[in-house]
Structure 1
Amino acid sequence: MTVEDEYLTARLGKMYMVPSKEVVATSEAADKHLRAFEQGCEEWMSYHAQPHTEEDLEGFEQFVVALLSGPEFKSEKEYESRIQAVRRQFKTTLSKPQIVRAYYRLRDAERIERSPSFERITTKKAVRSNSGVVVITIVTAPGRFSCPNDCYYCPDEPGQPRSYLSTEPAVARANQNEFDPVRQFYDRAGTLAKQGHTVDKVEIIVLGGTWSHYPRDYQEEFCRDLFYAANTFDERLSKLGQKGEGAAQTRERRPLLEEQKLNEKAVTKIIGLTLETRPDHITPAEVRRLRRYGCTRVQIGVQHTDDAVLAYVNRGHDRAAAVRATRLLKTCGFKVDLHLMPDLPSSDTEKDWAMFQDVLHGEDLQADHWKIYPCEVTPFTRIETWYKEGKYIPYTEKDPRLLTELLARVKAEVHPWIRLNRVIRDIPEVSIVAGNSLTNLRQAIFEVLKSRGQCCRCIRCREVRDWPETTDGLRLRVREYRSSSGTEFFISIEGGHRGFGGGATQRALAGGQKATKREKKERKSALRDASAQAEMKAAAKAASAAGGTREERKKAAAAALAAAAAQKTSAPVEVEQEADEENATLYGLLRLRFNDDPRAPSPVFPELSGCALIRELHVYGALVAAGREESSRSLADDRPQHIGIGKTLMGTAELIAAAHGFQKISVIAGVGVRNYYRKLGYCLRVSAANITPLCTLDLCQGWAASAASNLNPGSCTHPCRSSPGAHSIETRPSALKILNPIFP
């Protein structure tokens, strides 16, 4: 018996795995799916069975030395031109992982100087890390305990956790590592490192069945193993080509809380942990457990808000359960990610549009993140039988444009404080029997939006990513809205308008913020259309107010249109300004919450009584120093993230909280960022049960009083300002003092 076999997390994965060859295919689609999974496993084994010799590596190094013999690359075009010349010189073509491995071997041996431009260009799939963190998905073990329910659309493939298919990338990787969380972490983190990513700030997303239904001892060990894997992972060795245990400094695994404590100072820090469960499993006891594990965000499968649709697919809970779960999680400071499924059996486009309107414009389900999963018919589901019998035909199957049009309408209305993490499930086409099979659905939606002069204002589409602007174009915004028995403040630092249509990355393709002539023309056209629509609405309102005969109403409308025409300038300034404000590039965000009765005793965390809650702080991308010309940017520029954006957002949140009479703030801090908050004066407080560590800060009464009276904390003379926990806005160092705050 090996050391790893002693751990429950390793045993359960192996115990409930079922080799694909032993699975009985219940349909032709299932057989096709299983053959695809087998082929993927064989390719993975073949790839890992071909190690490079030392002679191979020396050849790779010579290639890289020749590639870097010239000056720093100024563009990807220049890089491609030079690498083509080197390929002709050596008469060989190397893959990116081979080039990256050779580069880091040379750099580690100090045989070459660091090349920032090379590192940026060779970072494969930069989207994996240019949101400020790298995301690693870990999948829990299969078994009947993975979910107690039997939703009719949910796949139940033997040997896989409920609701997941073996061909999905993260699940395939879990199978290859026998569902051992440590091996999964090493595998994925090592791959990211070899692709050029810096694996120092990691967000873990745990998928697989219903987390709350797994055995408690398995949950404890699983989360312990996540922190252990991060604490022992060696990015440098991974970049040099080692994998698995070879890329880790292995040692005995310690208890969960000890591994968490070690992670506070580890090289690879877990800054966020997301767990997935059902809304009817969210209870005060479950919330306490989630916090003990280090969880900061919870994904809950709402799926739909129409109770009749939920009952038809045997979901097992109603809308009210989702409302209660969202309220309890937000009241305790968690971030909430809703799963929504259009095109379910018994639903249609009208019901799905009503669902999205419910979660967008109601207070009860105002979430922070969404995952949209259009229903797809897959093997091992009840609805596969329904589809064969003609009882259920997805409307996407009848006309694919229906789904694209629906989601384009939804994305055009999404609030700036919501992040759309997904608009499609990560299921390969080979495993889809019916329903949406458009794997680039997000891009198709962007094309529809662009053709209409519209855009998505969600967080993901506005993140700065790779091409920032100068600091003198940034500003601070505060948006206020109601949600789940509380008031939320979405505080953000934003830049210029990011254009219509696609996501944040598309802005960078032409080299920064500059728009093409076509984009400018489309933008002006869209603004004119918006202005005309506003005028027509005003005219209709005037006609309605006038009353009387039809002729009198027509005259009133005509007069309103004439007045609008007389006041109109060459450009619809007001409409343009509104578009800029809601569609601006996003550099950082903070979520501040005031519960409606903050001083009431909390049934979950008594420590939160009287606290304002900071539920999220996230900084994206990088900045260029103020006054720097766009033309002087180059790929050689480093992208430092730590220049004061986070401190500015924290200071603003503290100011707003103090102005509303709060004297305490609590932050739901990921384990790996606790020290960041300690530097800002926050301290870690632990409940009597020693299971709910919370980062809190006391706002001194003198500071709070002065802030509440005139928003000028500098007038406070309380002695706490010279103490280690002093936190007045003046003590928050920031490179962004030029920001112009905009309040709603």
Structure 2
Amino acid sequence: FSRLKQLETIGHDTSKVDLIIMGGTFTARSQNYQEEFVKGCIDGMNKKISPTLNEAILENEFSKRRCIGMTIETKPDWFNEREIDEALSYGTTKVELGIQVLNDSILRLNRRGHGIEEIVRSTQMARDAGFKILYHLMPGMYGSSYREDIRSFDMAMSDDRFKPDMLKIYPTLVVKNTALYAYWKEGKYIPYDTKKVVRMVTYFMKNMSPWVRVMRMQRDIPVNFIEAGVKRSDLHNLVDIEMENMGIKTMEIRSREVGIVKDSYGNDYNLIRRNYRASGGDEIFLSFENSKNDIIGYLRLRMPSDMAHRKEVLSSSIIREIKVMGNIVPIGAESAENWQHHGFGKKLLDEAERISLEEYGKKRIVVISGIGVRNYFRKYGYERLGPYMARELK
């Protein structure tokens, strides 16, 4: 609640709250801990303490400050059936998986506690349950190399077992009181310097799939805590400058969003469709883009794999994300100067329903909806179905 008040005091609209629970392996905590923590966050948005988590969630559907999305951060070995079902029960819509690198030997060497098998399984189960999938990549881990990190990125983009929706790129940093610090002091480990990381991430951006959004580059660690590695907090800016100097144009989403891209206003926006396979199912990425590939909004539609464990998605299609870009327009308001609340979301929704029914023969479509977005879907005939919103298609 205090944080929301701070944001309001400096002029931010807080009617749409995207809650991100960061740090540690959240799903390794007890179910009671997870539910109490989430309830506290939602109570803060509601400005009242509800007797139970479910009552807090119901209150938030109509609250002045609504939770439009919820993200948890965890490891692949801590996000399977049980953890997924728990996360769905309290409103989670996105999962950040700390995969770090797609190499079993390097993962073992760094004592990650999981391998590629766990990454594949967790990704598939979470995607089939409707979650947006964000991978943490950590170039320069102990035992890795520049070539291996490039190979790992290429594998994440091209191998159907992976293909995340979003990335956070965290170059390995040396901090005190860690095993890596001891290896560095002994000369057994040499981290990448800034120049090498900029060159590598520039390659990533050049080869990014058009359905991927890079959410962050570089950990938010005070420079005085970093003993070795990239100490620049403006890594993203350095990469942008490098791409501009090299004449590289990326298809990464954030670099193309209206509101971020200058001079992106106009009327030449068309509905673009991109199909790809991932985790045993079909993915359809729908977006409104102009001739320069600037993007107004997008929708992620999935035809789940045969391994989906949630009964609600069996024989259904599932919308994993629907988003319109630009500055926030408060719930119920309109703005001629911004893109939200101008019907783009409804057009994306209509096309997803058409594809589901006419091309895949699905009789039902479900949405993994943020708590505070459920009423938006109710306007178009969607009803609660377990943790989802759903509509029968005719």
**TM-score (norm: length of structure 1):** 0.51
Mapped to 1, the partners of 2:192 and 2:141 lie a distance apart of: 9
- 2:179 is aligned, of 382, 387, 390, to 382
* Residue aligned with 1:472, SS: coil
Mapped to 2, the partners of 1:643 and 1:293 lie a distance apart of: 30
Cα distance change on mapping 1:596 and 1:291 into 2, 3 Å? closer
Higher percent of residues as helix: 1
- 1:590 is aligned, of 282, 294, 299, to 299
* Residue aligned with 2:267, SS: helix
Q: Does 1:615 align with 2:320?
A: yes
Contact 2:275 2:282 survives alignment (8 Å)? yes
- What letter matches 1:621 in structure 2? G
* Residue aligned with 1:435, SS: coil
2:289 is aligned to: 494
Cα deviations across residues 209-261 of structure 1 (Å, max 9, x unaligned)?
Answer: 111111221111111111111111xxxxxxxxxxxxxxxxxx44320111100
Cα distance change on mapping 1:637 and 1:282 into 2, 3 Å? closer
1:224 is aligned to: 39
1:664 is aligned to: 364
Please list, as runs of the form range in 1=range in 2, the aligned pairs for 1:218-617 lying within 5 A after superposition. 218-232=33-47, 251-396=48-193, 400-465=194-259, 469-470=264-265, 472-497=267-292, 584-597=293-306, 602-603=308-309, 605-617=310-322
1:100 is aligned to: none
Q: CA deviation at 1:611?
A: 0.5
Mapped to 1, the partners of 2:239 and 2:377 lie a distance apart of: 39
Contact 2:296 2:339 survives alignment (8 Å)? no
1:673 is aligned to: 373
Please list, as runs of the form range in 1=range in 2, the aligned pairs for 1:145-184 lying within 5 A after superposition. none
Contact 2:61 2:373 survives alignment (8 Å)? yes
1:644 is aligned to: 343
- What letter matches 2:346 in structure 1? K
Contact 1:468 1:622 survives alignment (8 Å)? no
Contact 1:488 1:594 survives alignment (8 Å)? yes
- 2:12 is aligned, of 186, 197, 205, to 197
Mapped to 2, the partners of 1:254 and 1:455 lie a distance apart of: 52
Contact 1:446 1:455 survives alignment (8 Å)? no
Counting matched residue pairs gives: 386
- What letter matches 1:190 in structure 2? K
Deviates more, 1:269-278 or 1:636-645: 636-645
Contact 1:468 1:621 survives alignment (8 Å)? no
Structure 1 alignment gaps of length 5 or more: 1-185, 233-250, 498-583, 624-635, 687-692, 701-744
Larger radius of gyration: 1
Percent of matched pairs sharing the same residue:
34
- What letter matches 1:257 in structure 2? N
Cα deviations across residues 91-112 of structure 1 (Å, max 9, x unaligned)?
Answer: xxxxxxxxxxxxxxxxxxxxxx
Mapped to 2, the partners of 1:649 and 1:288 lie a distance apart of: 27
Mapped to 2, the partners of 1:675 and 1:462 lie a distance apart of: 29
Mapped to 1, the partners of 2:362 and 2:152 lie a distance apart of: 36
Mapped to 1, the partners of 2:385 and 2:223 lie a distance apart of: 49
Higher percent of residues as strand: 2
- What letter matches 2:134 in structure 1? D
* Residue aligned with 1:681, SS: coil
* Residue aligned with 2:184, SS: helix
2:331 is aligned to: none
Mapped to 2, the partners of 1:470 and 1:389 lie a distance apart of: 55
Cα distance change on mapping 1:671 and 1:459 into 2, 3 Å? same
1:7 is aligned to: none
* Residue aligned with 1:587, SS: strand
2:22 is aligned to: 207
1:698 is aligned to: 392
- What letter matches 2:30 in structure 1? P
- What letter matches 1:343 in structure 2? G
Cα distance change on mapping 1:385 and 1:615 into 2, 3 Å? same
* Residue aligned with 1:488, SS: strand
Cα distance change on mapping 1:252 and 1:482 into 2, 3 Å? closer
Q: CA deviation at 1:455?
A: 2.0
Mapped to 2, the partners of 1:468 and 1:474 lie a distance apart of: 14
Mapped to 2, the partners of 1:457 and 1:191 lie a distance apart of: 35
Higher relative contact order (CA 8 A, sep 6+): 2
Cα deviations across residues 366-425 of structure 1 (Å, max 9, x unaligned)?
Answer: 1111111100001221111111111111132xxx32211111011100011001001211
Q: CA deviation at 1:622?
A: 6.6
Mapped to 2, the partners of 1:218 and 1:312 lie a distance apart of: 31
Contact 2:26 2:72 survives alignment (8 Å)? yes
Contact 1:225 1:253 survives alignment (8 Å)? no
2:332 is aligned to: none
* Residue aligned with 1:395, SS: coil
* Residue aligned with 1:345, SS: coil
Mapped to 2, the partners of 1:644 and 1:468 lie a distance apart of: 21
Cα deviations across residues 86-142 of structure 1 (Å, max 9, x unaligned)?
Answer: xxxxxxxxxxxxxxxxxxxxxxxxxxxxxxxxxxxxxxxxxxxxxxxxxxxxxxxxx
Mapped to 1, the partners of 2:337 and 2:111 lie a distance apart of: 52
Contact 2:192 2:230 survives alignment (8 Å)? no
* Residue aligned with 2:318, SS: strand
* Residue aligned with 1:641, SS: coil
Contact 2:288 2:298 survives alignment (8 Å)? yes
Contact 2:49 2:56 survives alignment (8 Å)? no
Deviates more, 1:367-376 or 1:387-396: 387-396
* Residue aligned with 2:290, SS: strand
Contact 1:273 1:296 survives alignment (8 Å)? yes
Contact 1:312 1:346 survives alignment (8 Å)? yes
- What letter matches 2:44 in structure 1? A
Q: CA deviation at 1:640?
A: 5.8
Mapped to 2, the partners of 1:222 and 1:595 lie a distance apart of: 31
Cα deviations across residues 485-514 of structure 1 (Å, max 9, x unaligned)?
Answer: 0110000011242xxxxxxxxxxxxxxxxx
* Residue aligned with 1:301, SS: strand
Contact 1:485 1:595 survives alignment (8 Å)? yes
Cα deviations across residues 318-340 of structure 1 (Å, max 9, x unaligned)?
Answer: 11110110000011111111111
Contact 2:304 2:313 survives alignment (8 Å)? no
- What letter matches 2:10 in structure 1? Q
Cα distance change on mapping 1:594 and 1:468 into 2, 3 Å? farther
Task: Let me know the Cα RMSD of the aligned residues.
Answer: 1.7
